[in-house]
Structure 1
Amino acid sequence: MRAIRHSPTDGIYPATPDYVHAMEVRGAERLLFIAGTMGLDPQGTPGTTLAAQLDLVWANIRRILAAADMTVANVVRVTSYLRDASYAEANAAARTEALEGRVVPTTAIVAQTLSEGWLVEIEVIAAG
């Protein structure tokens, strides 16, 4: 599989260092669509802080990827649902760390989660 980043700069606002406008995927044999994943521990209890939930979200995503014989290197798209706009910076930092500095197309949306205790939910598309 080959992933080609596209972030044009002519006639469009610039992408920030933590994402790209688009990712072209060539030669992928598999696509994995991961449902919104929350910062819940194995018993279904949410982390008590945003940082704890972000750690749990990415640990859960890594487990789901591993079940499909993939890693974070296969991630080609991330959508984050944040309960509060003030979570954006921490979310971007956690994503950048989880993806080991790789940048992918990403969107963050402020939304009411189904439970007040769920501070962040993240969807991922992976290709391999």
Structure 2
Amino acid sequence: MVITAAECHDPLMELLPHNPSSGVYPASDDYVHAMEVRNPSRLVYVAGTMGLDQHGVPAASLEEQLGLIWNNIRTILAAADMTVDNIVRLTSYLRDPVYAEANARARVEALKGRPVPTTAIVAQTLESSWLVEIEVIAAD
């Protein structure tokens, strides 16, 4: 599968997912092992983004925090004239492994099912009220 320049919103850039069929475990429908980015004109690295509102207050529930995280990511990418369609790599930091399923659902919904290389790590966040933190790399 090659993602064309028109789908990337850039006349030269191409995204080529790499999922070897042997020698490594299979990728899932919402995950690719690697994404080759050919001819990007820009890269944007988004720092770990939490489920905080505009005043820096975390939402009460996991689902609300995931909603805020994705809204925050959209806002940050928009400042660089990009959207979630430009995301080529994503890392999630989960405070508890039980958050993995909800985090994956939120990611699949936010990316409209488009698979990208993704890693989820269970880590202690700086504040116990921060349940998930997500960082992304975007390209165009």
TM-score by length of 1: 0.98
Write the letter of the residue equivalent to 1:6. H
Matched, 1:22 2:34: yes
Pairing partner for 2:122 from 110, 116, 121: 110
Secondary structure at the counterpart of residue 108 of structure 2: helix
Matched, 1:79 2:94: no
- Tell me which stretches of 4 or more aligned residues in structure 1 moved more than 2 Å: none
Q: Which has the larger radius of gyration?
A: 2
Secondary structure at the counterpart of residue 43 of structure 1: coil
Structure 2 residues without counterparts, runs of 5 or longer:
1-12
Secondary structure at the counterpart of residue 65 of structure 1: helix
CA RMSD of aligned residues (A): 0.5
1:13 and 1:19 mapped to 2: Cα distance?
A: 12
Matched, 1:63 2:82: no
Structure 1 residues without counterparts, runs of 5 or longer:
none
Percent identity, please. Answer: 68
1:106 and 1:21 mapped to 2: Cα distance?
A: 8
Residues paired across the two proteins, number: 128
Which structure has more relative contact order (CA 8 Å, sep 6+)? It is 1
Pairing partner for 1:95 from 96, 107, 132: 107
TM-score by length of 2: 0.90
Shift of 1:101: 1.0
